[in-house]
Amino acid sequence: MSTLSQGCRKCIVDSTTNRLVPGHFQEVKERREHQTDKILTAVKERLVKEINYWSDHYIRLSEDVAAGKQPKVQLEMARRRVEELTARLEQRKKELNGQRNVVSAMPVVIGGALVIPQGLLAQRKGEPTFSADADARAHIEQTAMQAVMKAEQALGHEVFDVSAEKCGWDITARPPMQDGKIPADCHIEVKGRAKGADTVTVSRNEILYGLNQSDKFILAVVLVDGNEVLTKRGKQPCQKQNRLLFLAPDADSLEQRLEDQVRVYLAFIGVQRHRCGGDAPQSGPDTNDTFRWLMSPVQEVRRGRLEPKIVWDAVQVSPAA
């Protein structure tokens, strides 16, 4: 408490009172009323049943006494029993109705902590983080699902997508019959992560299900590469490979020619303004000699299949082009 100033504590109390307390109070109030009503119903059912029993017993004993019979149970004891049960019922109703009254107290600050999101730290360090973009996450997850399903189908397994059924896993893979016996299904939980990510989040239920299912449960972690820009058009597959061209600077020219050109250009601006007092010249530095390489990603085709590896083809171009 000594680390928090009075102004900070007051701000916390005011914010909690206005934002958190109303919702929490309503939640506690509804839960308390529901629990109290449930208990009151059970108490009424039990005590009213006993009261009715002893009331009926008292009436029959009164009739026996009026007829000159001597009952085994005293008439006065039955009447007293009815009165005791009635008083107990009223007392319990009073206690339970009192428990329905919930009073909100003033929040008390017992400590403070500075919370820094891990994602913010990773972002400042330049580390890959969990994508906050819902569309990007969905695309990564769908790509991972397709990759796992294709891998299972390549093994001859019958594949079922059960991710929408919320049954504890994403894919059911059914192996073919072996020696007239049907092997057990494989339950696969798919986790898609962007390439470079170093963490995978597994929920508590997924861990428990994996422990219960033993060898039937498989956790498939799929790293989705960014090279899909070459094979995808948005979310749809490309019928023809995208052709990307990059104009890149020459390393030597970047360090020499480009720096010299920028230095000369800045000097020319100063001289022009000093002589004419006008604006800077419209033309910029001559950088034609710097960007000399035309680069393009290429995938080779072997035996009718596209190789997954991407190589870069670099062609030197003329500065005058």
Q: Tell whether the model's pLDDT for residue 286 goes beyond 70.
A: no
Same domain, residue pair 203 and 271? no
Positive or negative, the CA dihedral 23, 28, 33, 38 is positive
94 shares its domain with 148: no
Is 112 part of any domain? no
C-alpha distance across the termini of the chain, in Å: 71
Q: Are residues 265 and 186 in the same domain?
A: no
Domain final residue pick, 41, 76, 99:
99
Is residue 51 assigned to a domain? yes
CA distance 173 to 49: 58
> Is residue 173 within 8 Å of 189, Cβ to Cβ?
no
The Cα 23–Cα 84 span in angstroms is: 42
pLDDT of residue 105: 80
**Which pLDDT belongs to residue 253?**
60
**Are 139 and 186 contained in the same domain?**
yes
- Torsion (CA) 229, 233, 238, 240 in degrees, nearest 10: -80
Whether 1 maps to a domain, the answer reads: no
8 Å CB contact between 203 and 171: no
Structure tokens at 99: 């428990």
Please indicate, yes or no, if residue 41 is contained in any of the structural domains. yes
Shared domain for 141 and 195, answered yes or no, is yes
pLDDT for 64 equals 80
pLDDT value, residue 275: 65
Q: How confident is residue 2, by pLDDT bands cut at 50, 70 and 90? A: very low
Out of 224, 256, 283, a domain closes at: 224
* % of the chain surpassing 70 pLDDT: 72
On the question of pLDDT at 85 being above 80, the answer is yes
Task: Please name which of 156, 171, 179 lies closest in space to residue 216, comparing C-alpha atoms.
Answer: 171
122 part of a folded domain:
no
Q: Which two tokens stand for residue 280?
A: 């800077």
Average pLDDT, integer, range 230-242 = 56
Instruction: Please name every residue paired with 296 in a beta bridge, in sequence order, or none if there are none.
Output: 313
Which tokens is 130 given?
Answer: 């969990």
State the pLDDT at residue 1: 40
| DSSP for residue 152 | H
Domain that residue 288 falls in: 240-316
DSSP structure string for 94-111: HHHHHHT---PPPP----
**pLDDT at 319 (0 to 100):** 59
pLDDT band at 67 (very low <50, low <70, confident <90, very high): confident
CATH number at residue 152: 3.40.1350
- pTM (two decimals): 0.36
Looking at the structure, do residues 47 and 81 belong to the same domain, yes or no? yes
Mean pLDDT, rounded, of the chain = 77
Which pLDDT band holds residue 193 (cuts at 50, 70, 90)?
A: confident
Say whether both 214 and 259 belong to one domain. no
Handedness of CA 230, 233, 234, 237 (dihedral sign): negative
- pLDDT for 312: 77
For residue 138, tell me if it sits in a domain: yes
Model confidence over 173-190: pLDDT tens digits?
998 888 878 788 889 999
Residue 156 has pLDDT above 50, yes or no: yes
Residue 110 lies in a domain: no
CB-count exposure of residue 204 (10 Å: 0-12, 13-18, 19+): exposed
pLDDT in tens, 117-138: 877 787 777 665 555 456 667 7
Which residues contact residue 132 at a Cβ distance below 8 angstroms, ignoring those fewer than 6 apart?
119
- For the cut 60, the answer to whether the pLDDT of residue 80 exceeds it is yes
Write out the E strands in 212-310. 217-224, 232-233, 236-237, 246-249, 291-298, 301-302, 305-306
Does 271 share its domain with 308? Answer: yes
Q: Are residues 220 and 244 in the same domain?
A: no
Q: Is residue 59 part of a domain?
A: yes
Count of domains observed in the chain:
3
Residue 169 has pLDDT above 50, yes or no: yes
> At residue 161, does pLDDT exceed 70?
yes
